Structure 1
Amino acid sequence: MENYSLFILMSILLIILPGPDTGLITQNTLAAGKQGGMKTVLGSAGGLMIHTLAVTLGLSSILVKSAFLFSIFKYVGAIYLIYLGIISLWSLRRKATDGDETSENVYKHKSHFFQGFLTNVLNPKVAVFFLTFLPQFVKPGTGAFWQFLAMGLTYTVLTVIWFFFYIHFINWIRAWMKKPSTQRVIQGMTGVALLGFGVKLALEKQP
C-alpha cells in the first residue's frame, strides 16, 4: 500500500464532510440520545464493510458498469432517504399534537442500526467512491485484495471514531438545549436535509 499516511489524511477530510450519514446520525442522536446515535454509526460501519467486501471481490465494478443495477440501487436508496426525511418531519407534527415525551418514546423503538446500514448500503455513490478513491493508494505488483481490505477497514474505523466524538458533541448540545422549539427546528432541518440528499441521489447520473 502506497502513501498510507496520505490515505488516512484524505479519508479524515472526506469523512467529516456532511452527507446522508451525518444527517441521520444527527437526527437519531437528538431524538434518542447517544445510544441512538451510536447504533446508527454501527449500522453505517456495517454498510461500509459491505462496500469494502464488494470492492475487494470486484462486485462494485459490476454495479457501476451496469446501468440497470446502478439505477435500482440509486432509486431504492433515494426513496429510502426521502422516506426517512418524511418520517422525521412527520414526527414534528406528532410532537405538536401528542407531546415531546410520546414522540421520543416512539423514536426509541426504531431500529437505528438498520437505518444507518440501509442508508449506506443502498447508496451507489459509496461504491463509486471506493472504486475511484482506494485504487489510487494500491501498490502495484502486490495483492490488491488485502490492500483494498485494509483500506476499507481503516476507513470504517476512522468513520466510527469521528462520529463517536460527533455524537458526544451533539448529545451535549441536546442536553444543553432544553427548549423543545429549538430541538424541533434542528430536527426539521435534518429531515429536510435527508429529503434533499434523497432527491440529489435520485438525480445522480451513472459515472
Structure 2
Amino acid sequence: MTAALLGFALFALLVTIAPGPDTLLVLRNCLRGGRRAGAASAVGSAVGSMAWAVAAAAGLAAALQRWDAAFMTVRLVGAAYLVVLGAQALWTYRRAATGSTEAMGEPGGGDLTAVRAARAFRQGLCSCLLNPKVGIFFVAVVPQFLPEGHSVLGVTLLFGVIDAVIAAGWLLLVALCAGRLLQWLRRPKVHRNLERGTGGVLLALGIGTAAETLRA
C-alpha cells in the first residue's frame, strides 16, 4: 500500500508541475489581486481536483469517457470558460496599452480590475471542474496504482486527497513566489506583457480544446 501511495504521489507531482491553465490563472490573479488572490485560486483548483476524484470514485468520469455527448459538452463548456478568461486578460492589456491606469493600480480601492479572493477561488474551482481531463486522469491512472485487497472506492478517494494536496502545495508555492515579485510584475510594461501573454495562451488553449473536441 505504501509503495502504491508513493508511486501515485510521484506521478501526480510530475503531472502537476507541468504548466497548464491552473498555473497561468494563479499567476494572473497574483498580479491582479496579490498573493491572497493567487492563493485563493490555488485552493479553488485543489478543491476542484478533489471533486473530480470523488466523481471518478463514483463512476462519473468513467461515464463521461463512455458517453461522447456528455464528454463533448463538458469539454466545450470548459473551452468557452478558458476563452472568456483569455479575452478578459486581453481586454485588460488593451486598456493598459491605451493609457488606462486603472488596470495597474493596487488591489482594492478604486481598481475595477482587481480580483478579490472569493472571485479568484471561484475561477480556480471552475477552471478545474470544467476540465474533464482531470476526471479522466483518475480513471486512466488510478487503476495502475491500485493495490490488491483494498477498496477501490476508498483508495481512489485517498489518491484524490493526495493529488489535491500536491496541487494545492505546488500552486501555493507558485503564488508565494509570484507574490514576492509583485512590485516587478506591476511595472506597466511587465503587466501589459503578462496580461497579453496569459490571455493569448488561455485563448489558444480554449480554442484548441474546442477544435479538438469538434474534430473528434
After superposition, where does 1:143-162 map in structure 2 within 5 Å?
Answer: 143-162=151-170
**Alpha-carbon distance, 1:102 to partner:** 8.2
Structural mapping, 1:1-207, within 5 Å: 1=1, 2-95=3-96, 96-99=98-101, 100-101=104-105, 105-109=111-115, 111-177=119-185, 179-205=187-213
Moved over 4 A (4+): none
Structure 1: gaps spanning 5 or more residues: none
Q: Report the number of matched residues.
A: 207
Q: What runs of 5+ residues in structure 2 fail to find an aligned partner?
A: none
2:31/2:185 contact within 8 Å kept: no
- Measured in 2, the distance between the counterparts of 1:93 and 1:57 equals 45
8 Å CA contact retained: 1:45, 1:117: yes
Q: CA deviation at 1:22?
A: 0.9
CA distance in 2, matches of 1:74, 1:117: 15
Query: In the aligned structure 2, how far is the partner of 1:178 from the partner of 1:55?
Result: 40
CA distance in 1, matches of 2:186, 2:151: 54
Between 1:92-101 and 1:52-61, the stretch displaced more is 92-101
Structure 2: which amino acid aligns with 1:176? Answer: W
Distance 1:102 1:94 in 2: 16
In the alignment, the residues of structure 2 paired with residue 182 and residue 162 of structure 1 have an alpha-carbon distance, to the nearest angstrom, of: 24
Letter of the aligned partner of 1:98 in structure 2? S
- In structure 1, what is the Cα distance between the partners aligned to 2:131 and 2:172? 22
175-184 or 194-203: bigger deviation: 175-184
- Deviation digits for residues 57-77 of structure 1 (CA, Å, limit 9, x no counterpart): 111111111111001101010
Aligned residue type for 2:202: L
SS in 1 for 2:147: coil
- TM-score, normalising length: structure 2: 0.89
CA RMSD of aligned residues (A): 2.0
- TM-score normalized by the length of structure 1: 0.92
One-letter amino acid of the counterpart of residue 125, structure 2: F
Q: Separation in 1 of the partners of 2:126 and 2:149? A: 35
CA positional deviation for 1:25: 0.9
Report the Cα distance in structure 2 between the residues aligned to 1:103 and 1:175, rounded to whole angstroms: 12
1:30/1:174 contact within 8 Å kept: yes
CA distance in 1, matches of 2:174, 2:105: 24
What is the deviation of 1:175?
A: 2.1
Amino acid at match of 1:156: A
Q: State percent identity of aligned pairs.
A: 31
